[in-house]
């Protein structure tokens, strides 16, 4: 399958966090256009059943395809962990999730083959990262850090309270036989905003793997195989961005720019049928 010279990449998340994946994609693949769908009316996905998450994710995938997406990036760790197979089965275009690229990057980063993964309750309960890492012959310890997402959404990305919370979580994560683990995987798309703070809170010897960045590199690698060589002029042209949300567009613009690192000009409200 060959894609258009300037493909449209659809990016899906339950909310705002996936915008860190979009930010990484824009840096890695400036020669594409993007459609971002945030299912903000139905978040969080973490408290919902596998069946419900799969249904929501498939609806979102079909919507993005209707907007011309020729490749889908599931920027939601929960949806990737619980429903990636269902999304791939129902989609008509290539699909990339965030778990496998994050695990692959961790495998490349580690020297002693011991990895700590931090994420939300739902992602950790799915054990998707642990399974992906163990398949690669690595030891993995997962740690749920439920307070970090609300702190990020509050804008407290460099607050002393957030740093104290992170230090407590990481001290527990790197306890016992994992005190010498040398790689930390950020298995939540909110966590890249905390990167400087997590760098301070983590043990000095630890390398940090951002699954958002790893996913962007994985998508770029796949696109090179699927897209004909672009002219220099096409590569330089500015990406067209479309944003869709199922809840308040004003809130999406306000919160979203923190994650994307730039202003979001307009957001279209979408109602997906239950």
pLDDT in tens, 73-120: 999 999 999 999 999 999 999 999 999 999 999 999 999 999 999 999
Q: Rounded to whole angstroms, how far apart are CA atoms 34 and 189?
A: 18
Q: Quick check: is 76 catalytic?
A: yes
Choosing from 76, 95, 148, 152, which is the catalytic residue? Answer: 76
For residue 172, cis peptide bond before it (omega within 30 degrees of 0): no
pLDDT at 231: 47
The answer to whether residue 272 scores a pLDDT higher than 50 is yes
Encoded tokens for 223? 């696109």
* Start-to-end C-alpha separation, the chain: 32
**Of 40-44, 46-50, 150-154, 211-215, which gets the smallest average pLDDT?**
46-50
Give the active site residue among 188, 209, 227, 267: 188
What domains are defined for the chain? 8-97+213-269 (3.40.50.1860), 100-211 (3.40.50.1860)
Residues 6+ apart with CB under 8 A from 218: 96, 100, 101, 104
Predicted TM-score (pTM) above 0.85 = yes
Structure confidence by residue, pLDDT tens digits, 208-243: 999 999 999 999 999 988 876 654 445 556 899 999
Q: pLDDT over 90 for what percent of the chain?
A: 87
Residues 218 and 212: their CA atoms lie apart, in Å, by 10
The reply to whether 145 belongs to the active site is no
- pLDDT reported for residue 233: 43
User: How many of the other CB atoms lie within 10 Å of CB of 223?
Assistant: 20
Residue 229 has a pLDDT of: 65
- What's the pLDDT tens digit per position in 171-189? 999 999 999 999 999 999 9
The percentage of the chain sitting over the pLDDT mark of 70, rounded to a whole number, equals 95
pLDDT at residue 196, rounded to an integer: 97
Contacts of 157 (CB under 8 A, 6+ apart): 151, 193, 194, 197, 258
Side-chain half-sphere of 85: how many Cα atoms within 13 Å?
A: 4
Instruction: Please say if the pLDDT value at position 206 is more than 60.
Output: yes
Average pLDDT over residues 243-254: 96
Greater pLDDT, 67 or 232 = 67
* Cβ atoms of residues 192 and 157 within 8 Å: no
**128 has pLDDT over 80:** yes
């Amino acid at each position: 399958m060959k894609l258009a010279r300037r493909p449209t990449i659809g990016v899906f998340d339950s909310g705002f966090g996936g915008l860190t994946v979009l930010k990484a994609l824009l840096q890695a693949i400036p020669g594409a256009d993007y459609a971002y769908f945030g299912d903000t009316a139905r978040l969080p996905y973490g408290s919902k059943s596998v069946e419900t998450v799969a249904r929501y994710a498939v609806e979102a995938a079909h919507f993005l395809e209707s907007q011309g997406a020729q490749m889908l990036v599931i920027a939601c760790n929960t949806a990737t962990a619980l429903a990636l197979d269902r999304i791939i089965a129902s989609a008509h275009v290539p699909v990339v999730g965030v778990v496998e690229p994050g695990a692959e990057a961790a495998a490349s980063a580690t020297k002693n083959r011991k990895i700590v993964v931090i994420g939300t309750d739902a992602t950790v309960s799915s054990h998707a990262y642990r399974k992906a890492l163990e398949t690669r012959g690595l030891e993995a310890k997962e740690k749920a850090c439920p307070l970090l997402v609300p702190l990020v959404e509050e804008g407290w990305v460099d607050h002393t309270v957030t740093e104290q919370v992170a230090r407590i979580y990481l001290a527990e994560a790197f306890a016992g036989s994992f005190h010498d683990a040398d790689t930390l995987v950020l298995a939540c798309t909110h966590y890249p905003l905390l990167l400087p703070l997590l760098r301070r809170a983590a043990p000095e010897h630890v390398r940090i793997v951002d699954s958002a960045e790893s996913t962007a590199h994985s998508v770029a690698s796949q696109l090179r195989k699927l897209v004909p060589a672009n002219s220099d002029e096409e590569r330089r042209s500015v990406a067209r961005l479309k944003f869709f949300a199922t809840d308040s567009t004003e809130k999406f613009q306000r919160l979203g720019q923190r994650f994307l690192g730039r202003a979001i000009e307009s957001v279209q409200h979408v109602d997906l049928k239950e």
